[in-house]
């Protein structure tokens, strides 16, 4: 039995894949990112949660949208791996999304879906983006 899938769900592109969502592995890295970026969307997930797996992919897709990429820095961390952040950030459920402005948490959203994340990103970037433009297949031409 294979441990990893044979094919990636990522559409083919000639350039190498660029990670837009930064995975945080320590409190120090989290604090440094909070100091460096004016606006951040932080996703907290757990590998054991099926809902988190779906929303982790959603955050990856949103991070590729130009309007969001310019104004919002995307971070994510594993609830189980970085348990020392749970208390200070008051995370009690996964998935949880946190919004930071100038290093201060201004919003915490637990157990939300794709539409709520999109609405929040629109507010953060002060840009209206159509939902269909947030999917990876958005650049394909119809015949």
Total residues belonging to the chain: 143
Q: Is the pLDDT of residue 141 over 60?
A: no
Mean pLDDT of the residues in the chain? 79
Q: Say which DSSP state 99 is in.
A: E
Selection from 66, 82, 83 nearest residue 121 by Cα: 66
- For 37-132, where are the alpha helices, taking DSSP H only? 50-63, 66-71, 86-89, 114-125
Collapsed DSSP state (helix, strand, coil) of residue 107: strand
**Average pLDDT rounded to a whole number, residues 118-143:** 65
- Please give the Cα distance from 114 to 26 (Å, whole number): 27
β-bridge pairing 39-45 and 73-78:
parallel
Predicted confidence at residue 131, as pLDDT, reads 62
**Average pLDDT rounded to a whole number, residues 18-23:** 77
Lowest mean per-residue pLDDT among 6-10, 53-57, 99-103, 120-124 = 6-10
- Please give the Cα distance from 30 to 75 (Å, whole number): 8
Query: Per-residue pLDDT tens for 83-126?
Result: 888 888 999 889 999 999 999 999 999 888 888 888 888 888 77
22 falls in which pLDDT band (50, 70, 90)? very high
136 falls in which pLDDT band (50, 70, 90)? low
Predicted confidence at residue 108, as pLDDT, reads 92
Question: Does residue 92 contact residue 43 with C-beta atoms inside 8 Å?
Answer: no
Predicted confidence at residue 67, as pLDDT, reads 85
List the domains of the chain with CATH numbers: 21-134 (3.40.30.10)
């Amino acid at each position: 039995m294979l441990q990893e899938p044979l094919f990636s769900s990522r559409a083919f592109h000639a350039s190498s894949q660029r990670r837009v969502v930064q995975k945080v592995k320590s409190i120090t890295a989290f604090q440094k990112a909070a100091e460096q970026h004016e606006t951040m969307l932080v996703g907290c997930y757990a590998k054991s949660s099926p809902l988190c797996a779906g929303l982790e992919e959603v955050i990856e897709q949103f991070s590729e949208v130009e309007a969001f990429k310019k104004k919002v820095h995307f971070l994510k961390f594993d609830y189980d791996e970085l348990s020392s952040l749970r208390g200070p950030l008051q995370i009690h459920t996964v998935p949880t999304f946190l919004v930071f402005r100038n290093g201060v948490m201004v919003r915490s959203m637990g157990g939300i879906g794709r539409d709520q994340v999109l609405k929040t990103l629109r507010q953060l970037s002060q840009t209206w983006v159509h939902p269909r433009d947030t999917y990876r297949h958005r650049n394909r031409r119809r015949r």
